[in-house]
Structure 1
Amino acid sequence: MKITHRIARGRTIALTTLLVAVAGLGTGCVSQQEYDRLYETNQSLRSQNADLQNRLGTLESNNSQLQGSAGDAQGVIGRLRSENTTLRDQLAASQNAFASLEDRMNSMSIVQLDPATDRALSDLASQYPDMIVYDGESGMLRFVSDLTFASGSDQVQPSAMDSLKTLASVLSSNTASKYDLRIVGHTDDEKPGANTRRNHPTNVHLSAHRAISVRKALGDAGLDWSRMSVTGWGEYRPIVANNPGKGTAANRRVEIYLVPSTRNNLSVSPSLENATSNTPSTPVDTRPKIDPTK
């Protein structure tokens, strides 16, 4: 606005000066010197006016560019806000899904055993206090590996067989038959020696092989094989901090978790059974027949 006023003022001064000069000339009252001075003033004002016009044009152009940039910036801001809202919604959905999954995992890991099975397992742990620890809140039995296995071995020691046979008897009862067993092997973080690596390349192998050996001992003692699964975590699920370079006995263990049985969920649907029963006993050749005379 100030530049516009200056341009208008310059135009007014130039016009006034020109009129005064013309009026003076018309009356013959202006000297040549005064005329020259007024002429120079008029030319100077014309030059100033042209300069201000150029500056005004530049400013108006810059203003248009800034307005365009501002519009673009507003568009970018709007798009970023929309993307931010979408990401927030996705994050909230992921957090809800994670919380739901965590609740499911927690509910799966905590099993309330029936009183008879709980009491029998507690009595078993009392019978073998140096070998077995029982946690009734999670339905978990923990076998101390150093008493169950020789160092670097996956063969169950004879001294541990009696406890496993007794456990198989307890878990074969009517009340305990509704539970499946998750047999989980663990080690400390000491790397297997050269002799051990021949059969168990890593601690994960050793822990899994020990879990398999416990499963075999229970199965040989009469426990239903279909109720048992095995996992080996190696050194990756310690219950206490490992003692570097010295090994940690507490982390060398085999845990047995009792969980609700899923065997009834694996029944074959009637439609699948019918489809199987209707399947021909011998394959039928459906390829087009070729007439050898043609």
Structure 2
Amino acid sequence: MRTVVVVALVGLTSACVSAGKFRNKAAEADELRAHGAELEAALARTNGELEKRSEEARALQAQVAELSTSRGTLEARVNELSTSKSKLETVKAELEKKSSEYEKMANALRGEIDAGRVELTELRGKMTVKMKDKILFSSGSATLGKPGKGALAAVAEVLRGVDGKVIRVEGHTDNVPLGRGGFVSNWDLSVARALAVVRFLQEAGVEPTRLAAAGYGEYQPIAPNDTPEGRSQNRRIEIVLAPGEALAPAPAPAPAGM
């Protein structure tokens, strides 16, 4: 009897130990499952963050590629502009290059230029000597005065050594109607003054086949005619030297009946 009781107690104790282990293992399993769930959630978050970073990296790569393309385009544009600038500077230098005739004329008329009575310009091989009418003519007159002859003598000295240029003398006036003199209009006066300068240059030794005269009257002003200063600028003689062959004589009229 005692033996049976002992065996029963051992069996009961074994059953209690097994149940405790089971509960411990079950608790451990629950804990492991919870930890695994946390790990899976953390992994999901990490994967999501990685995907976000990957998208950002791809976007940055696209921006870098775009910037690289833009940089190449900009560099090409900069090179193009640099080349264009160099060409423009070359053209500008060529346009502003002064001829030997210009230098000679500038030296011959230095006093008149410094005094503001004469202006000298040159562009594209075309030189212009601009002389205010008051140093050449008195008001309403086409007769050269002594100061004008002195200035024109200096011009003629240079023009005698100029080859391959057409020398055109242009007369210009303001728009004030003539109050006296033997001229019908400012146009007639401008032509007469241009012819007077041409005759003086011819008599001073300038080749007449290269000389021409033109009168523009009031119709090519360089300043407004509503002020005394503007009208003074418009009253002028311009001697223009342009590239070209000697002026050819006008063809003779055909005989009558032909």
Instruction: Indicate how the Cα distance of structure 1 residues 246 and 201 shifts in structure 2: closer, same or farther if over 3 A, else same.
Output: farther
Aligned partner (choices 91, 108, 131) of residue 124 of structure 1: 108
**Residue type matched to 1:263 in 2?**
A
Instruction: Indicate how the Cα distance of structure 1 residues 151 and 171 shifts in structure 2: closer, same or farther if over 3 A, else same.
Output: same
Q: Provide, for residues 198-254 of structure 1, a one-character-per-residue CA deviation record: whole Å limited to 9, x for no partner.
A: x21000000110000111111111111111111111111110000269971110000
Instruction: Indicate how the Cα distance of structure 1 residues 113 and 184 shifts in structure 2: closer, same or farther if over 3 A, else same.
Output: farther
Give the TM-score taking structure 1 as reference length. Answer: 0.48
Is the 8 Å Cα contact of residues 205 and 234 (structure 1) preserved in structure 2? yes
**Residue type matched to 1:227 in 2?**
R
Question: 2:137 corresponds to which residue?
Answer: 149
SS in 1 for 2:100: helix
User: Following the alignment from structure 1 to structure 2, what is the Cα–Cα distance between the partners of residues 265 and 203?
Assistant: 29
SS in 2 for 1:237: coil
User: Following the alignment from structure 2 to structure 1, what is the Cα–Cα distance between the partners of residues 119 and 209?
Assistant: 25
Aligned partner (choices 171, 175, 185) of residue 185 of structure 1: 171
Is the 8 Å Cα contact of residues 208 and 231 (structure 1) preserved in structure 2? yes
Q: Structure 1 residue 134 and structure 2 residue 117: aligned? A: no
Long gaps (5+) in structure 1: 1-110, 269-294
Is the 8 Å Cα contact of residues 227 and 261 (structure 1) preserved in structure 2? no
Aligned partner (choices 206, 214, 223) of residue 197 of structure 2: 214
Instruction: Indicate how the Cα distance of structure 1 residues 145 and 264 shifts in structure 2: closer, same or farther if over 3 A, else same.
Output: closer
Is the 8 Å Cα contact of residues 211 and 247 (structure 2) preserved in structure 1? no
SS in 2 for 1:213: helix
User: Following the alignment from structure 1 to structure 2, what is the Cα–Cα distance between the partners of residues 245 and 167?
Assistant: 28
Is the 8 Å Cα contact of residues 173 and 234 (structure 2) preserved in structure 1? yes
SS in 2 for 1:168: helix
User: Following the alignment from structure 1 to structure 2, what is the Cα–Cα distance between the partners of residues 245 and 116?
Assistant: 36
User: Following the alignment from structure 1 to structure 2, what is the Cα–Cα distance between the partners of residues 189 and 222?
Assistant: 34
SS in 1 for 2:239: strand
User: Following the alignment from structure 1 to structure 2, what is the Cα–Cα distance between the partners of residues 206 and 157?
Assistant: 16
User: Following the alignment from structure 1 to structure 2, what is the Cα–Cα distance between the partners of residues 203 and 136?
Assistant: 28
Long gaps (5+) in structure 2: 1-94, 252-258
**Residue type matched to 1:240 in 2?**
A
CA shift at 1:260, angstroms?
1.8
Question: 1:33 corresponds to which residue?
Answer: none
Question: 1:166 corresponds to which residue?
Answer: 154
In the TM superposition, 1:219-258 aligns within 5 A as 219-243=202-226, 248-258=231-241
User: Following the alignment from structure 2 to structure 1, what is the Cα–Cα distance between the partners of residues 230 and 118?
Assistant: 20
CA shift at 1:180, angstroms?
1.4
Q: Provide, for residues 145-182 of structure 1, a one-character-per-residue CA deviation record: whole Å limited to 9, x for no partner.
A: 01210000001111111111121111111xx1221111
**Which structure: larger Rg?**
2
Give the TM-score taking structure 2 as reference length. Answer: 0.54
Instruction: Indicate how the Cα distance of structure 1 residues 265 and 146 shifts in structure 2: closer, same or farther if over 3 A, else same.
Output: closer
How many residue pairs were aligned? 153
- Structure 1 vs Structure 2 CA RMSD: 2.7
